[in-house]
Amino acid sequence: MAEFKQNYFQRKNKDRGPRSNNRILSPEVQVISSDGENLGILNTNDAINKAKNEGLDLIEIAPNANPPVCKIMDMGKFKYDAQKKANLAKKKQKIISLKEIKMRPVTETHDYEFKVKNAKKFIAKGDKVKFTIRFKGRELQHSHLGNELMSKIKEDMKDIGKVESHPKFDGKQMIMVIQPL
């Protein structure tokens, strides 16, 4: 029972990165030398010995190929290059966020112009803008005011953005999303 608990609570080692050297399971592998030359299909042990003679590691590059493709290279350099590639991909991706601008159907012109100016700044940065018009009490009976305000917003934003989702009611508020052109 004590042995069972010890094994049960033991931490499992996660596989980190590609298999290398003695962790390669296939009996035969396609080997590529450190200078990029194809050495052909070799016995895994022979390929590992060849890599050890050069002072490098045998790294499994394409494990799903038949036979698996392995390359003779330094494991540290391989991991470093993979990390650099991942960081570069992460750096290039563009994250689009959704900015929300809230109004009321009775918003005054100066406030309206100020909010539309901010929305234009957000769209210029590449963000989407969600316009929300909140109705309170009797304002719900005058939903045409919200429709007029939304159409005015559409008209003011048409030069830098397009409507992604048209105005629709969601409970006591009207919502419209505008995205950059």
Q: Per-domain residue ranges for the chain? A: 16-91, 98-180
The residue type of 149 is L
- Domain 98-180 is in which class? alpha beta
Distances (CA, A) of 64 to 16, 49, 69: 17, 23, 8
Look at 12-16, 77-81, 151-155, 170-174 and tell me which has the smallest mean pLDDT. 12-16
3-state secondary structure of 62: strand
pLDDT, tens digit, 9 for 90 and up, residues 152-161: 999 998 899 9
5 pLDDT exceeds 90? no
- Domain 16-91 is in which class? alpha beta
Confidence bin at 93 (pLDDT 50/70/90): confident
Other Cβ atoms within 10 Å of 154 Cβ, number = 17
Domains 16-91 and 98-180 agree in fold: no
pTM greater than 0.75? no
